[in-house]
Amino acid sequence: MKQGVFITFEGNDGAGKTTVCKAVEKRLSEMGYSVLYTREPGGSRIAEAIRQVLLDVENTEMDARTEALLYAASRRQHLVEVVLPALNANKIVLCDRFIDSSLAYQGYARQIGAPEIWDINQFAIDGHMPDKTLFLSVSVETGKKRMDLRGDKNRLDLEASAFHARVRKGYQTLCQDYPERITVIDAEADVQTVVDQSLQEILKVVHAYE
Ligand SMILES: Nc1ncnc2c1ncn2[C@@H]1O[C@H](COP(=O)(O)OP(=O)(O)OP(=O)(O)O)[C@@H](O)[C@H]1O
Ligand SMILES: [Mg+2]
């Protein structure tokens, strides 16, 4: 196998990324693979500190481009400290959200522009694109229902709904633009089916490198 396999999971809020990612991690581990599940900031002290600035509700004057740069900076630090060492140790890395989240949320939904977000993220990741990205596709309504189920605050107002619709549309554009890298998984199905399909797609990539 080449140096590790880098898999990212993407999708709207409540699509099932974390649930599926963790189940896939378990299945791959049981099959004897060395796997790492991670998500930004992933326990990196510096990436965590950057995230605190992003999440601080006091930072109301945060400019949209500053926000985009901080996300990219946090991504860089997590990549260098967590993802790359695991890939160098020949692990399968399952990353819960990565560059496509910035493209969908900030590039498309916040309307900064996908090319702008792409450029700063390419600087941040310096060529380390995922080998495969799984887009867990659900309707905005399903995502909302699942967030409610999880007990998140109900944000059913129209603005939130329009935002999530733009996120979904952004992801769909990315799927068209990168058909080789991104595989669409129908995540409206039950958890077991989504996990099985995700696992199948990941194993195709893993076997290609063996
Ligand atoms: N295929 C599925 N069918 C039914 N319920 C599901 C499915 N996948 C996940 N869920 C449930 O939906 C809720 C949201 O799932 P999860 O937290 O994995 O989503 P997520 O994509 O990680 O969301 P976020 O973007 O907010 O991190 C959880 O309660 C989970 O148990
Ligand atoms: Mg999650």
Closest ligand 1 atom to 152 CA: 26
> β-pairing, 35-38 with 5-10?
unpaired
Specify whether the CB–CB gap between 164 and 12 falls below 8 A: yes
User: Token pair 């049981």 is at which residue?
Assistant: 30
Closest ligand 1 atom to the C-alpha of 193?
1
What pTM was computed for the model?
0.96
Identify the pLDDT of residue 160.
86
CA of 15 to the centre of ligand 2 (A): 8
Q: Which residues line ligand 1 (CB under 6 A)?
A: 11, 13-19, 146, 149-150, 187, 190-191, 194
Cα distances (angstroms) measured from residue 182 to each of 16, 42, 148: 17, 23, 28
Annotate 161-196 with b (16+ C-beta within 10 A) or e (fewer): eebbebbbebbeebbeeeeeebbbbebeeeeeebbe
The count of residues in the chain is 210
What pLDDT is recorded for position 51? 95
Q: Which ligand is nearest to the CA of 147?
A: 1
Q: Where are the alpha helices (DSSP H) in the chain?
A: 17-30, 45-55, 64-78, 84-88, 99-102, 114-125, 140-150, 158-177, 191-209
Q: Which of 19, 25, 196 to mutate for ligand 1's pocket (most ligand atoms within 8 Å of CB)?
A: 19
The pLDDT profile of the chain, 210 residues, written as one tens digit per residue, is 468 999 999 999 999 999 999 999 999 999 999 999 999 999 999 999 999 999 999 999 999 999 999 999 999 999 999 999 999 999 999 999 999 999 999 999 999 999 999 999 999 999 999 999 999 999 999 999 998 888 876 555 566 889 999 999 999 999 999 999 999 999 999 999 999 999 999 999 999 988
Q: Are 197 and 2 in contact (CB under 8 A)?
A: no
CA pseudo-torsion sign 146, 35, 41, 127: negative
- What residues are neighbours of ligand 2 (ion), with CB under 5 Å? 17-18
Mutation test residue for ligand 1: of 146, 148, 192, 193, the one with most atoms within 8 Å of CB: 146
CA of 20, closest atom in ligand 1 = 18
Tell me which residue has its CA closest to atom 9 in ligand 1.
16
Measured on CA atoms in the order 88, 94, 129, 109, is the torsion positive or negative?
negative
CA distance 186 to 136: 6
- The atom number, within ligand 1, closest to the CA of 188 reads 1
